Structure 1
Amino acid sequence: MSSVLEKSLAIVELLVDHPMGLPVTAIAAATEQPASGVHRTLQELARLGYVRQVQAQGDYALTIKLPAMGLGFMGRAGITDVAQPVMDQLAADSGELIRLSVIDGDRLIWVAVAQGATRGLRYDPGQEQGVVVHLASSAGGKAWLASMTDDEALNRVGAQGLLRQAEGQGPSAPTSITLLLQQLAEARARGYATAVDSYIAGMAAMAVPVRYHGSGPVLGCLSIAGPAVRMTDGRMAELAPRLQAAADELGGAAAGTKYFRANVRALDDDPQGRRSA
């Protein structure tokens, strides 16, 4: 890491995954920074109100300031107002976990969730909002990739990496470009992408792109996820029309959000024409 800003953001991103806090030595090791430098950065972040020391001489944790800023942005951008009611209804209809990811530049990021499972076995990661989606191993990522040409999809995967090394992945995640392209072709033919024992072992998901006004550029992806024993091929086929209808509803309502309108303008102004097919 070269810049002070990059080092600071690395610390913040690490603490997002550890809400109970971490000691300076653990933060230094995880971010590959000297402990003395990490301590100075934490002191400055604390002065600005972004982190706090859990107790005297204790661990450092994020304050609520950064999450509150994120929620404020989501609300003012109109994303939650438009998306949450649609996602809540789909969660109730499917009885599974619903996730919305949105395109932010060259990345796909999970931004909203609704849980439909109220009892028994369920998939509920709880910490994926704000996480960059790994494209090759997730249903949402493959739904986005399937909306592109194979060359465009391979460029995205090449930039991010075929394998999800840092966090690990499920045993059925694609380990070759040939297999990934086959899965993308199947997603196009089927009308939705799937990931079974791929992103996480024991979990299955299906996803479709969310298109502006239903047929415009891709704004993000909507997915249904749950335990693989329940999310069978037959069950996914049953849920597919409801998932697509919800995605169409979100795409139709996207014109009412500042964030999505700005994304569409950015695609229209892109000289390289990164608009998904």
Structure 2
Amino acid sequence: MAGKEEKYRAPALEKGLDIVELLSLNMDGMTQVEIAKALERSQGEIYRMLSTLVRRGYVVRRSEGDLYSLSLKMFAVSQRQPPIQRLLEVAAPKMRALTRVAWQACHIAMESDGDIVVVASVGSPGNWGLALRTGISIGLGNTGTGRVLAAFRTDAEVEELLDRHRLAEGEPPIDRTAFMEHVARVRERGFERMPSATLMGITNLAYPVLDQENRAVAVVNCPFLTRIDEVEVPDIDEVHELYQQFARELTDFYTGGQYAGPHG
């Protein structure tokens, strides 16, 4: 694999990206000499890369001190597709494919001003299944999704979330002490696997989609139903592996493969 990756490298592109990443860490700008020294490159190499980046508008050259710094073009380009929108666009076909393998429904939820909102949902391909409607609000304290969203935040953020949360339909008042205990267990385990506190016979499987700071931006949830007829489908442990891997793939996409923290 290492040899194959080496074969398809693009050195010129990598040098340009090295410059962009370096300048992103130096808001005051850097001279050509400083950039070359920091990247251990010749000034000739750096000059050609800088000239191209300046010409394309990604880097600006300031006359005072002959300093180079990033322009706002990179930010503008990235904002053409908001990251959450892109995440959901990438997730949708994967969810449909996954439910056909797992024979279980899947939904993704996010926190919005204290509410836990289902933002994407795909039903089971079989005759029986449970699929939540997109746009509905679900509980914070009594769902695997809510507990996972809270688990991957600081304790101070969890307290703020509890203050802002409005109880969903059927959700009982939240015992903060018990909730924080649940959150601590989920944080240690990396996911939630719990009997549904809403309907009998369902096991909630919930997995975080994380950003670079180990904070949950979304939760992948499978309301697992056990079949007792003659249809052969994956068992709960196999479904756990499928959906946990799906959440990891979304984390890799969201972070650009830069996530390096614990992930269940």
| Bin for the TM-score computed over the shorter chain | 0.5 to 0.7
- One-letter code of the match for 1:99? H
DSSP-derived class of the 2:121 partner: strand
- The whole-number CA distance in structure 1 between the counterparts of 2:88 and 2:98 is 15
User: For the structure 1 residues 155 and 255, does the alpha-carbon distance in structure 2 shift closer, same or farther, using more than 3 Å as the test?
Assistant: closer
Question: Taking structure 1 as reference, are residues 217 and 84 closer, same or farther at Cα in structure 2, changes over 3 Å only?
Answer: same
C-alpha separation in 1, matches of 2:99 and 2:173:
28
8 Å CA contact retained: 2:194, 2:203: yes
Paired residue secondary structure (2:137): coil
Q: How does 1:110-259 map to 2 (within 5 A)?
A: 110-119=118-127, 121-125=128-132, 128-161=133-166, 164=168, 167-169=169-171, 176-212=175-211, 217-227=215-225, 235-254=235-254
| C-alpha distance in 2 between matches for 1:253 and 1:199 | 32
Q: Name the CA distance, whole Å, in 2 between partners of 1:253 and 1:107.
A: 25
Distance 2:89 2:202 in 1: 29
| TM-aligned CA deviation for residue 105 of structure 1 | 5.1
Q: Which runs of no fewer than 5 residues in structure 2 stay unpaired?
A: 1-80, 229-234, 257-264
Deviations 1:198-231 (A, max 9, x none): 1344433111111236x6543211111133788x
- TM-score scaled by length of structure 2: 0.53
- The one-letter amino acid of 2:164's match is A
Shift, 1:189, TM fit: 2.7
Could you say what the CA RMSD is over the residues aligned between the two structures, in angstroms?
Answer: 3.4
Identity of aligned residues (%): 20
Q: 1:189 to 1:221 in 2, by over 3 A?
A: same
Q: Identify which of 100, 110, 113 aligns with 1:102.
A: 110
The total of aligned residue pairs comes to 171
For normalisation by structure 1, the TM-score amounts to: 0.51
Change (3 A) 1:111 1:183: same
Q: Tell me, what secondary structure is at the counterpart of 2:120?
A: strand
1:15-164 aligned within 5 A: 77-104=85-112, 106-119=114-127, 121-125=128-132, 128-161=133-166, 164=168
Question: In structure 2, what is the Cα distance between the partners aligned to 1:90 and 1:112?
Answer: 14
Residue 87 of structure 1 aligns to which amino acid in structure 2? M
**Are the structure 2 counterparts of residues 241 and 136 from structure 1 closer, same or farther at C-alpha, using a change threshold of 3 Å?**
same
Which stretches in structure 1 are left out of the alignment for 5+ residues?
1-72, 257-277
Q: Which amino acid aligns with 1:148?
A: R
CA distance in 1, matches of 2:187, 2:119: 24
User: Contact between 1:123 and 1:203, CA under 8 Å: does it hold in 2?
Assistant: no
Q: CA deviation at 1:237?
A: 4.2
Report the Cα distance in structure 2 between the residues aligned to 1:253 and 1:93, rounded to whole angstroms: 21
Contact map agreement 2:113 2:165 (CA 8 A) in 1 = no
Preserved CA contact (<8 Å) 2:204 2:223: yes
Contact residue 184 and residue 193 of structure 1 kept, 8 A: no
Q: After superposition, give the CA deviation of every residue in 1:26-81 in whole Å (9 maximum; x if it has no partner).
A: xxxxxxxxxxxxxxxxxxxxxxxxxxxxxxxxxxxxxxxxxxxxxxx99x943543
Q: Which amino acid aligns with 2:183?
A: L
- Name 1:58's counterpart in structure 2: none
CA distance in 1, matches of 2:136, 2:217: 17
CA deviations 1:139-176 (Å, max 9, x no partner) are 11111111123342233123215x54xx214xxx7852
* Distance change in 2, residues 1:241/1:227 (3 Å): closer
